[in-house]
Structure 1
Amino acid sequence: MRTGMMALAVGLLAPVFMPALPPVGLLVVLPVVALMLLPFRSYPLACFLFGFTWACVGALWALNDRLPPRLDGETRWVEGRVVGLPQSSDGVVRFELADARSRHATLPSLMRLAWYAGPPVKSGERWRLAVKLKRPGGLLNPDAFDYEAWLLAQRIGATGTIKDGQRLTPARNAWRDSLRQRLLAVDAQGREGALAALVLGDGSGLSREDWQTLQDTGTVHLLVISGQHIGLLAAVVYLLVAGLARYGLWPLRWPWLPWACGLAFAAALGYGLLAGFDVPVQRACVMVALVLLWRLRFRHLGAWWPLLLAFNGVLLLDPLASLRPGFWLSFAAVAVLILTFGGRLGAWRWWQTWTRAQWLIAIGLCPVLLALSLPISVSGPLANLLAVPWVSLVVLPPALLGTLLLPVPYVGEGLLWLAGGLIDWLFIGLALIAGQWPAWIPAAIPFWALAVGGLGAVLLLLPRGVPLRPLGWPLMLLLVLPPREPIEEGQADIWQLDVGQGLAILIRTRHHAVLYDAGPRVGDFDLGERVVLPALRKLNVQKLDLMLLSHADADHAGGARAVRRGLPVARIVSGDPLNLPAELNAAACESGEQWQWDGVQFQLWQWSDADDSNQRSCVLQIEANGERLLLTGDIDTHAERVLLGSPLAVPTQWLQSPHHGSRSSSSMALLNALQAQSVLISRGHGNAFGHPHPTVLARYRKQGLRIYDSAEQGAIHLQLGRFKPPWTMRQQRRFWRDPPAPGH
């Protein structure tokens, strides 16, 4: 039985690791083959085929419910119902629209929309909206969060920006949203958003500083409802009924055990529904149900069996749940606890159990966090040692009881006021810890090192005396100090990061690193902080010898401050330093400046008579083993004409498309002089500027240039000096991604 369940789990997980899904015809045949295997008692293989087919069908169903390519970028009037909990921050209202309809077009069943400067939107309302529709997609960078996979896991078939709209009907049956509004309206000593996160699992009310504190201390699971909260509430209800029965306070005509199990599960399920029934909650509810069922039947239940059943149960309910990082962290944490406390001779004292559990969870989850490319909290064991009992035993009871008693004047609000103050004390303590030990974003490591380090973590989780257990420490050291392939002398390793409508290019030689532009910043949405800085750390950049900001526009220099805060920067140079923040202390670009690092030549150029910031862009030429790349910023045809009289006007294999391929750039004179073979374009998909312009693309094609576009291919990796084609992120095939667009 267990072998079959394990085979079913493998089958349910297999499609996630496949570059493409099998054809529909094969998925029709596989269940028939599985049924034919049952008389031969080949249960494991049959279970694997059933699980694999179910997961593939679920994935195909979600893929077929995405916006058709012909509607990508179109603006249409749609009608639909708001679902979930709408979020409002920085003047932007974001929500999900279900059952959307439009004339002469079939739309996905669920869409995620953004309304800039939009009116308040409530769950359950019906709206008629003018929406610019987009197919699901996101920025693709090395070892970064895959937004497209997340959208698929959420069954979101389209995103969009609202241009106009009108409310058709008011909210109906929106009890979660109404409860959230009540929680946000009470006086919780300034922690109303955190209270809503704890009670409803809605983190939209937490500030960026709060999220950073929780991430740095590894305590995100405490404020966004996790399985721990579900299990704790079920245990409290069960023990309450058992205690009443023990002291003769429970009605004798009601058998206490069925009632205890039933009420405990009802409490867990009710809290799960209150929290939106996400993956950690699903896992907890299934495991609570299994434990209570076995307890009701007075049967001993091992720890691994309910975990395996819960694992399969979640995947059967939602085959795409494994695309979410929370799925892996939730089950991995429980597995670590089972491995830690199972099979040991003798018992630890309570304080040993609590302290060791925190350190062993940190060890066990380290390989999982690295595999998911998530930050690792160095202070997590210490922070959770204090925060878990504080939240579970001190904060959660008044928060839930206050929510339940909100209809009672003064009582519910008083309890919520108390809970808010307790949460505030929690954040004060966590902020002190985070200030001393922020989260660690490690560099990406190869798969073999991750596997060896994971084996080391498993060894360290085993009881003392197990043979080879001490080898766990040197094996885990590979996770911290993995071997890296050095960049050869005379070559440059170059990444054009995918930052949407902006530019950020990293150039590394054997011992030096240069960042050309730092990505865009729009309001509080800083791509330097969210994309560029994590990418630099993942690429093992410890410091920048030079940050060259071509000019002062926000799409090129907006992320500079975040990068400087996160990494040591020896020198900052810009073509327009006077319009940059004074704190950057940027020096002016000196036309004609040259230097050499590790056998790679660098040279700067700037038009001295430029009239605007774009024309003042500082141009950088890089030459490695005779192969050249020209980074041009946002220069236009006037600056290009002057550039043709400079030493940089020589045959150049690689050209960064000036001004993202705008109509006012990339003149035929420039292309003829440079004789470029390939062009790099950095821009946002469906951007409002129409970059790259069709006439510019026509020029590129007329010259026979191979076009590499970040909007179509994600981040682009070029090894200058090898005269080889680059590697793009879309070449890393996943079944939820469209095939890569080849350079042409």
Structure 2
Amino acid sequence: MRTAMLALAAGLLLLRFLPQLPPMWSLPVMLVVGLAMLPTRCRMLAFFFFGLAWACLSAQWALDDRLPKELDGRTFWLEGRVVGLPDTRDGVVRFELVDISSRHAGLPSRVRLAWYGGPPLEAGERWRVAAKLKRPRGLVNPHSFDYEAWLLVGRIGANGTVKAGERVAAAAGLQAWRDQLRQRLLAVDAQGRAGAIAALVVGDASGLTSADWRILQDTGTIHLMVISGQHVSMLAGLLYGLVLLLARWGLWPARLPWLPCACALALLGALGYGWLAGFEVPVQRACLMVALVLLWRLRFRHLGVWLPLLAAFDTVLLIEPLVSLQSGFWLSFAAVALLVLIFRGRLGIWNGWYALGRAQWCMALGLLPALLALGLPVSISGPLGNLFAVPLVGALIVPLSLLGTALLWLPAIGEWLLWIAGSLLVALFALLEVLAAWQPAWFATDLPLWCWLLVTLGMLLLLLPAGIPFRAFGLILLTPLLFPPVDKPPVGQAEIWVLDVGQGLAVLVRTREHALLYDAGPRYGDFDVGERVVYPSMRALGLRDLNLLLLSHADNDHAGGAEAVQRYMLAPRVISGEPQRLPASLQAESCRSGEHWEWDGVRFTLWQWSGARNGNQASCVLLVEANGERLLLTGDIDKPTEWALQASNLEISAHWLLLPHHGSRSSSSASFIEAVGARDALVSRSLHNAFGHPHPDVLRRLQDSGISLHDTAERGAIRIRLGRFEPALGLRSERRFWREK
């Protein structure tokens, strides 16, 4: 049985690593071959083929439900029902529509929309909206969050923006009641932490600020502030324990067997809490695992622990094979497996605090390989933070929040309990903030496979019981974490990364021992591209700090992420074409036209137009030359600035040209393109952007000049090895079955 279940899991998991899905005709072949192998000794292969065929079929259904390419970027009138809890922040309402009907055929069954300046929406309402729909697409950078995979797991076939709309039907049903409960919780006086209470009770995280998320990430406590498997299992455990205590004290009715009742009550509590949280995929997984654990406790304890865990693993994948694309899936099962490994079979009984501390320490070590493989930040202060946060949230804050919510019909009691929960949350965040300031999250360098295997082996050795020989040898195997192998360019060459930051710009220029960042991407409200994309990408590439932060000018799409980058990377020098418009914390100095320097055999030269009359014209231009190959970074200069640059003493001929102002019609004049004489052009922009960048006239001029265009919207982050005269590499060329070329 175990071998068959392992083979089934292997087939289901293989989907995660496929560069593309097999053709549909091959799936029936897999099933037929599997059926033929069942009576033979190769029945393991049969279950492997069953799992793979089902996973591929499920993934193909999700891909087929995406917006067709020919409809990409068009506006449609459609009608649908609002599901989930609409998220309103910074004047933008984000929500999902299902049960979609439209005059146009081919629209997906589920879409995610943003309505700028839109009216309040409630779950369960029906709306008719005019929306500009786009195929699912995300930023592609070194080891960054994969938004396209996240949308596919949610089976969201398109996202877009609402232009206009009208409510067709009012909210009704259980979804509407859940949304009303959310609003009631947010209106409670909870010492300013009503948003955190709503996150714990109904799974609505919109009340948590970006600063809250940063603190939770730095301290490894994100899992405590949204409804997760821990909360669901904790509630189930409390209900089970309550019945157990009543039975032991003789207070349970003798005619009712306590064990089946305890298991049934615990399961009902878990399902009720899961429904309250909206039954998102992580909560579904938690409820399923609780159900299997209770079933094991009731009837199958003789089978041991690992078989039920494997059964839960297979069941989750069978229900939703795409869940293997989510980091939470891997982390949750890895955490449960680690707890079983730590506590099962140990001699003696650990006291409560020692067991909690041991668990946190082992979890920090044991989950490190998974965090490294998934490209997630590692919290150094996590074991200490969880040591007091886990019992505080699990034993006090969550029970008080749930009890207070249940008693809101008695406002004096319910609101008082929520006020206590809010006060505890205030104290918790104050303590976590101190820890976060002391030791922020660590973004590790992307390790090659052999290094990752060494680290994983080292962690497993350290987790073995004391007294086992060679256990301390695991410390030596962790050396790649402290001294990771970094692929640095040789002297005289430079590595250029045009990062995929949407409608903005961030270019990393790296020599053998130095690094420069040209612009830092935009910031949109709570979403800071500098913090979410630029900094993690630089850390994944092995950078520990910057030697220079060069901001072409102060517009948000170029300098919005600068403060976050400077906060983490601490560049000793910041230069900008508009230092007076930047935050004072950056302490930026002016761009000095003609300034030049050399790093590791690579030459850098600055230029700025002295006659600039606006921010775009004041952009600080950078020319990089390595081994005779040249790159010209132009910021947002316009045609008059281009003509001034042509008339300057700077030799502007270059092999690579970053199109000025993202390819705007006001830039990239024919004379400038001819003067530069580039063979390749670069443009950083978002797909279907509102500005129409790059303009068709600019594209026509490039085509007439025989210049190849490399577009971040089409290719993802772009890497150039300057000085080697090689073609550029776009990260989107690394095939993933869910990622559009």
Partner of 1:742: none
Judging changes above 3 Å, is the alpha-carbon distance between structure 1 residues 480 and 203 closer, same or farther for their aligned structure 2 residues? farther
User: How many Å apart are 1:409 and its aligned residue?
Assistant: 4.2
- Residue 149 of structure 2 corresponds to residue 153 of structure 1: no
- Equivalent residues in 2 for 1:370-381 (5 A)? 370-381=372-383
Partner of 1:124: 124
Is the contact between residue 95 and residue 113 of structure 2 (CA under 8 Å) also seen in structure 1?
Answer: yes
Q: Distance in 2 between matches of 1:190 and 1:320?
A: 37
Q: Distance in 1 between matches of 2:286 and 2:636?
A: 53
- Equivalent residues in 2 for 1:342-381 (5 A)? 342-381=344-383
Judging changes above 3 Å, is the alpha-carbon distance between structure 1 residues 586 and 432 closer, same or farther for their aligned structure 2 residues? closer
- Equivalent residues in 2 for 1:12-27 (5 A)? 12-27=12-27
Q: Which moved more, 1:352-361 or 1:583-592?
A: 583-592
Partner of 1:87, secondary structure, is strand
- Equivalent residues in 2 for 1:455-466 (5 A)? 455-466=457-468
Is the contact between residue 279 and residue 327 of structure 1 (CA under 8 Å) also seen in structure 2?
Answer: no
Q: Distance in 2 between matches of 1:150 and 1:299?
A: 36
Partner of 1:644, secondary structure, is helix
Residue from 515, 520, 523 that aligns with 2:522: 520
Partner of 1:79: 79
User: Residue type matched to 1:76 in 2?
Assistant: F
Residue from 172, 183, 186 that aligns with 2:185: 183
User: How many Å apart are 1:663 and its aligned residue?
Assistant: 1.2
Q: Which moved more, 1:120-129 or 1:36-45?
A: 36-45
TM-score, length-normalised on structure 1? 0.97
- Equivalent residues in 2 for 1:476-487 (5 A)? 476-487=478-489
User: How many Å apart are 1:582 and its aligned residue?
Assistant: 3.4
Q: Distance in 2 between matches of 1:563 and 1:291?
A: 45
User: Residue type matched to 1:242 in 2?
Assistant: L
Q: Distance in 2 between matches of 1:450 and 1:608?
A: 51
Q: Distance in 1 between matches of 2:258 and 2:441?
A: 47
Is the contact between residue 279 and residue 314 of structure 1 (CA under 8 Å) also seen in structure 2?
Answer: no
Residue from 722, 735, 738 that aligns with 1:736: 738
Q: Distance in 2 between matches of 1:289 and 1:692?
A: 54
User: Residue type matched to 1:599 in 2?
Assistant: G
User: How many Å apart are 1:301 and its aligned residue?
Assistant: 4.2
- Equivalent residues in 2 for 1:594-613 (5 A)? 594-613=596-615
Per-residue CA distance 1:312-360 (angstroms, 9 max, x = gap)? 1111111111111111111111111111123333443433322111101
Partner of 1:179, secondary structure, is helix
User: How many Å apart are 1:524 and its aligned residue?
Assistant: 4.0
User: Residue type matched to 2:124 in 1?
Assistant: G
Q: Distance in 2 between matches of 1:387 and 1:66?
A: 41
Partner of 1:316: 318
Partner of 2:60: 60
Partner of 2:121, secondary structure, is coil
Q: Distance in 2 between matches of 1:674 and 1:235?
A: 69
User: Residue type matched to 2:226 in 1?
Assistant: V
User: How many Å apart are 1:298 and its aligned residue?
Assistant: 6.4
Per-residue CA distance 1:548-594 (angstroms, 9 max, x = gap)? 21122221122222222222212222223333333333222222222
User: Residue type matched to 2:311 in 1?
Assistant: L
User: Residue type matched to 1:93 in 2?
Assistant: V
User: Residue type matched to 1:150 in 2?
Assistant: W
User: How many Å apart are 1:264 and its aligned residue?
Assistant: 1.5
Q: Distance in 2 between matches of 1:524 and 1:357?
A: 34
Is the contact between residue 291 and residue 301 of structure 1 (CA under 8 Å) also seen in structure 2?
Answer: no
Q: Distance in 2 between matches of 1:188 and 1:579?
A: 38
User: How many Å apart are 1:400 and its aligned residue?
Assistant: 1.5
Per-residue CA distance 1:271-292 (angstroms, 9 max, x = gap)? 1222223344333322322232
User: Residue type matched to 2:673 in 1?
Assistant: L
Partner of 1:692: 694
Q: Distance in 2 between matches of 1:294 and 1:150?
A: 32
User: How many Å apart are 1:181 and its aligned residue?
Assistant: 1.5
Partner of 2:165: 165
User: How many Å apart are 1:678 and its aligned residue?
Assistant: 0.4
Judging changes above 3 Å, is the alpha-carbon distance between structure 1 residues 182 and 677 closer, same or farther for their aligned structure 2 residues? same
Q: Distance in 2 between matches of 1:281 and 1:338?
A: 21
Q: Which moved more, 1:163-172 or 1:633-642?
A: 633-642
Is the contact between residue 578 and residue 615 of structure 2 (CA under 8 Å) also seen in structure 1?
Answer: yes
Partner of 2:93: 93
Per-residue CA distance 1:29-56 (angstroms, 9 max, x = gap)? 1111111111114221111111111111
- Equivalent residues in 2 for 1:182-201 (5 A)? 182-201=184-203
Partner of 2:505: 503
Residue from 356, 380, 385 that aligns with 1:383: 385
Q: Distance in 2 between matches of 1:259 and 1:425?
A: 37
Is the contact between residue 283 and residue 311 of structure 1 (CA under 8 Å) also seen in structure 2?
Answer: no
Partner of 1:589: 591
Partner of 2:142: 142
User: Residue type matched to 1:485 in 2?
Assistant: D
Partner of 2:45: 45
Q: Distance in 2 between matches of 1:650 and 1:192?
A: 57
User: How many Å apart are 1:99 and its aligned residue?
Assistant: 1.5
Runs of 4+ in 1 over 6 A off after TM superposition: none
Partner of 1:251: 253
Partner of 1:469, secondary structure, is coil
Judging changes above 3 Å, is the alpha-carbon distance between structure 1 residues 101 and 185 closer, same or farther for their aligned structure 2 residues? same
Partner of 1:343, secondary structure, is coil
Q: Which moved more, 1:721-730 or 1:265-274?
A: 265-274
Q: Distance in 1 between matches of 2:599 and 2:523?
A: 30
Is the contact between residue 366 and residue 376 of structure 1 (CA under 8 Å) also seen in structure 2?
Answer: yes
Is the contact between residue 296 and residue 308 of structure 2 (CA under 8 Å) also seen in structure 1?
Answer: no
- Equivalent residues in 2 for 1:416-455 (5 A)? 416-455=418-457
Q: Distance in 2 between matches of 1:597 and 1:250?
A: 78
Judging changes above 3 Å, is the alpha-carbon distance between structure 1 residues 511 and 299 closer, same or farther for their aligned structure 2 residues? closer
Q: Which moved more, 1:218-227 or 1:411-420?
A: 411-420
Per-residue CA distance 1:637-666 (angstroms, 9 max, x = gap)? 222222223344454211111111111222
User: How many Å apart are 1:388 and its aligned residue?
Assistant: 0.7
Residue from 639, 642, 647 that aligns with 2:641: 639
Q: Distance in 2 between matches of 1:574 and 1:237?
A: 60
Residue from 199, 212, 215 that aligns with 1:213: 215
Is the contact between residue 487 and residue 493 of structure 1 (CA under 8 Å) also seen in structure 2?
Answer: yes
Partner of 1:84, secondary structure, is strand
Q: Distance in 2 between matches of 1:380 and 1:362?
A: 7
Q: Distance in 1 between matches of 2:492 and 2:659?
A: 25
Partner of 1:284: 286
- Equivalent residues in 2 for 1:548-697 (5 A)? 548-697=550-699
Is the contact between residue 630 and residue 654 of structure 1 (CA under 8 Å) also seen in structure 2?
Answer: yes
Partner of 2:112: 112
Judging changes above 3 Å, is the alpha-carbon distance between structure 1 residues 249 and 191 closer, same or farther for their aligned structure 2 residues? same
Partner of 2:472, secondary structure, is helix
User: How many Å apart are 1:251 and its aligned residue?
Assistant: 2.5
User: Residue type matched to 2:579 in 1?
Assistant: P
Q: Which moved more, 1:443-452 or 1:159-168?
A: 443-452
Q: Which moved more, 1:689-698 or 1:549-558?
A: 549-558
Residue from 443, 459, 470 that aligns with 1:468: 470
Is the contact between residue 137 and residue 740 of structure 2 (CA under 8 Å) also seen in structure 1?
Answer: no
- RMSD over aligned Cα, in angstroms? 1.6
- Equivalent residues in 2 for 1:217-228 (5 A)? 217-228=219-230
Q: Distance in 2 between matches of 1:294 and 1:563?
A: 50
Is the contact between residue 486 and residue 541 of structure 2 (CA under 8 Å) also seen in structure 1?
Answer: no
Q: Distance in 2 between matches of 1:280 and 1:314?
A: 10
User: How many Å apart are 1:61 and its aligned residue?
Assistant: 0.6
TM-score, length-normalised on structure 2? 0.97
Judging changes above 3 Å, is the alpha-carbon distance between structure 1 residues 240 and 573 closer, same or farther for their aligned structure 2 residues? closer
Q: Distance in 1 between matches of 2:26 and 2:86?
A: 41
User: How many Å apart are 1:258 and its aligned residue?
Assistant: 1.8
Partner of 1:608, secondary structure, is coil
